[in-house]
Amino acid sequence: MSSRDSLRIVFLADTHLGLDFPIRPRVKRRRRGPDFFRNYRSVLRHAIRTKADLVVHGGDLFFRSRVPGKIVDLAFEPLAECVRRRVPIVIVPGNHERSHLPTSLYLNHPDIHVFDRPRTFRFDIAGVTLALSGFPFERRDIRTRFPRVLQQTGWKGIPAEIRLLCIHQAVEGARVGPSDFTFRGGRDVIRMRDVPARFHAVLAGHIHRRQVLTKTLDGKEVETPVIYAGATERTSFAERFEPKGYFEVTIRRSTPGWELGHLAFHPLPSRPMVELYIDPVTAGRQLGRHLRAAMDGLEADSIVRLRSREPLPLEVRAKLTPEFLRAVFPESMNVECARELFAARG
């Protein structure tokens, strides 16, 4: 299929760059920050290598709104390489960035496009017109305000053969967490029926689980699917069984017009996340030996969370210091303690 018969978009979201990435760490131990950057760069290298027509980032590029300048540069430098290789970039500011990206000279490049307000970007790619409409994360009652905010993008007045909507919001039907929680109502949830059928797809960030929504809550098929790429790395133990990665979205010529084609999900490496349970009786006698036995057989780069099914005695809790855990667990692991470990005994 020739380039004029299809367009290919690399779509990623929720990279949370800067998480656990201290600029001047006071303690030498393994950090998770490099894992997030590794996967982020891997996606952009793939886009360059395969000559993608466009890269769309669905929001939460950073893990918070204020990040050190070094983190900003580490995040934007790979984008500059993409546009230097003639792969345009589109970014939706997310909730972690408080709907605004940090200021940077990199963002002045004409091929890096940011939804700093409701707007529409129009591209001419191999003779095909593509319009991407979107807006930064909206905190104020997006359920009611969505039609109005969408109108502010001016999408209806911009002619294009292909239309995509780019957002960083929850849409009804999206599922998250080990309990499979489903977004239904609520002021922060967009109704599926409010998405105009003239869009070929919605590229959405904010939900960390990869999924494609094609039905309303009552089971009716919709014309415009909502595509969540999910996060590129696990941000919490609630996601420990979820594959992380990104989508390649193909839009192909049909009769008449254009249609959403193949969706290829590319998984990214994620270190195993493991929960170890501390037995209060055994731990009280020899905590270090107990933990070493519990970690036997784990992969060397595991991310470990310590838990207990019942409150621990005060003398055991007092031992669970960062210094103690660093002495017990190898440097290749990350270790954290669940909140319940420090709950007072009833």
Pairing mode, if any, of strands 162-168 and 273-277? unpaired
3-state secondary structure at position 184:
coil
Pairing mode, if any, of strands 258-268 and 189-190? unpaired
The domains of the chain are located at: 3-268, 273-342
- Could you tell me which residues are beta bridge partners of residue 337? 306
Residue 245 token pair: 């990665």
Q: Widest CA span of the chain, in angstroms?
A: 74
Q: Give the residue ranges of DSSP H helices in 135-279.
A: 142-152
Per CATH, the number for 3-268 is 3.60.21.10
Per-residue pLDDT of the chain (346 residues; tens, 9 = 90+): 445 799 999 999 999 999 999 888 777 788 999 999 999 999 999 999 999 999 999 999 999 999 999 999 999 999 999 999 999 999 999 999 999 999 999 999 999 999 999 999 999 998 999 999 999 999 999 999 999 999 999 999 999 999 999 999 999 999 999 999 999 989 999 999 999 999 999 999 999 999 999 999 999 999 999 999 999 999 999 999 999 999 999 999 998 899 999 999 999 999 999 999 998 877 767 889 889 999 999 999 999 999 998 888 888 888 899 999 999 999 999 999 998 888 765 5
For the full predicted model, state whether its pTM sits above 0.85.
yes
